[in-house]
Amino acid sequence: MTFVERLYLWNIAKGMAITLKHFFKKKATISYPEETRPFSPVFRGLQVLNRDEEGRERCTACGLCALACPAEAITMEAAERKPGEEHLYREEKYAARYEINMLRCIFCGLCEEACPKDAVYLSETFAPSNYQRKGFIYGKDVLLIPDPKTDPAGYAKAKGQH
């Protein structure tokens, strides 16, 4: 070992050069509330129940989404449409209760693929944080997309069309 190698000056200089190089690189972190990171085009976020162009619910409570879910996060109860409710529901049968447990959901997208009516899709938003477990069980009132006739801005935002 030479005298220079024994002083470790060369290794210290190499380490300082690496440190200086990192000072001038773009930072990988972002200031989250002020800045948001763009999502991938194939990002699968929060589940949403879709409506048709007339504002009626598309879900017919067939149960294929619940059957396809590997985490068994979806529960639903079917009901028959009553006379006079044609403007609310598309088919004779509808989901009276539709719940998804977001703590069990693995965002795989199988529910979206299984739905024959395109009633279920995964949006570009992610599940917000909560302090209690029951706050992560989303019912039909939270999952249902806004009516395109009464709230077109909310409908466009929920669809991801800004």
Question: Is the pLDDT confidence value at 158 over 80?
Answer: no
Residue 162 confidence (pLDDT): 47
Residues 71-117 have pLDDT tens digits of 999 999 999 988 888 888 888 899 999 999 999 999 999 999 999 99
Residue 20 CA to residue 14 CA, distance in Å, equals 10
Residue-wise DSSP of 63-124: -HHHHH-TT--EEEEEEEPPTT-TTTBSSSEEEEEEEEETTT-----HHHHH-TTS-EEE-S
Highest mean pLDDT among 2-16, 31-45, 111-125: 111-125
Domains and CATH numbers, the chain: 47-159 (3.30.70.3270)
The percentage of residues in the chain with a pLDDT greater than 90, rounded to a whole number, is 40
Q: Which two tokens stand for residue 11?
A: 């290794």
Looking at residue 131, the DSSP 8-state letter turns out to be S
